[in-house]
Amino acid sequence: MRHMLSLFDLTAAEIERVFAVTEDLKTKFTAGVREPILPGRVLALLFEKPSLRTRVSFEAGIGHLGGVSLFLGQDVGWGERESIRDFAQVLGQYVDAVVCRAKAHAKVEELAQFAECAVINGLTDYYHPCQALADLYTVREIVGDVGDSKVAYVGDANNVARSLAIGCAKLGATFAIASPANYSFEREFVEKLQSETGELIETTDPREAVAGADAVYTDVWASMGQESEQERRAADFADYQVNSVLMSAAPEACFLHCLPARRGEEVTDDVIDGPQSAVVQQAANRMHVQKGLLAWLLASQH
Residue 56 vs residues 53, 62, 92, 244: alpha-carbon distances, Å: 5, 10, 22, 31
Contact 25, 255 (CB under 8 A): no
Contact between 53 and ligand CP per CB under 6 A: yes
From candidates 48, 135, 196, 219, binder to ligand NVA by CB under 6 A: 219
Contact between 282 and ligand CP per CB under 6 A: no
Number of amino acids touching ligand CP (CB under 6 A): 8
Closest approach of Cβ 173 to ligand NVA, in Å?
A: 20
User: Which residues carry out catalysis?
Assistant: 101, 128, 131, 219, 258, 286
Contact between 131 and ligand CP per CB under 6 A: yes
Closest approach of Cβ 23 to ligand CP, in Å?
A: 21
Closest approach of Cβ 247 to ligand NVA, in Å?
A: 21
Sign of the CA dihedral 131, 135, 136, 138?
A: positive
Q: Which is nearer to ligand CP, 92 or 286 (by Cβ)?
A: 286
Q: Which is nearer to ligand NVA, 21 or 160 (by Cβ)?
A: 160
Go through 169-183 and write b for each residue having 16 or more CB atoms within 10 A of its CB, e for each that does not. bbbbbbbbbbbbeeb
Contact 131, 155 (CB under 8 A): no
Contact 206, 151 (CB under 8 A): no
Kindly indicate which of the ranges 52-60, 109-117, 176-184, 268-276 contains the residues binding ligand CP, using the contact rule CB under 6 A. Answer: 52-60
Contacts of 137 (CB under 8 A, 6+ apart): 19, 22, 285, 288, 289
CA distance 196 to 130: 19
CA 180-182-185 angle, 5° bins: 90
Contact between 51 and ligand CP per CB under 6 A: yes
* Strand segments (E) across 162-277: 174-178, 200-203, 215-218, 254-257
285 is in the binding site of which of ligand NVA, ligand CP, none (Cβ under 5 to 8 A by kind)? none
Q: Fill in the per-residue mask, 27 to 66: x = in contact with ligand NVA (CB under 6 A), - = not in contact.
A: ----------------------------------------
Q: Which is nearer to ligand NVA, 105 or 207 (by Cβ)?
A: 105
Q: Which is nearer to ligand NVA, 230 or 248 (by Cβ)?
A: 230
CA distance 3 to 294: 11
Contact between 102 and ligand NVA per CB under 6 A: no
Binders in 156-185 for ligand NVA, by CB under 6 A: 158-160
174 is in the binding site of which of ligand NVA, ligand CP, none (Cβ under 5 to 8 A by kind)? none
Closest approach of Cβ 83 to ligand NVA, in Å?
A: 26
Residue 178 pairs in a beta bridge with 154, 203
CA distance 130 to 133: 5
Contact between 159 and ligand CP per CB under 6 A: no
Closest approach of Cβ 127 to ligand NVA, in Å?
A: 10
Contact 161, 43 (CB under 8 A): no
Run of H or E including 118: strand 118-121
Q: Which residues bind ligand NVA (CB under 6 A)?
A: 123, 158-160, 219-220, 223-224, 258
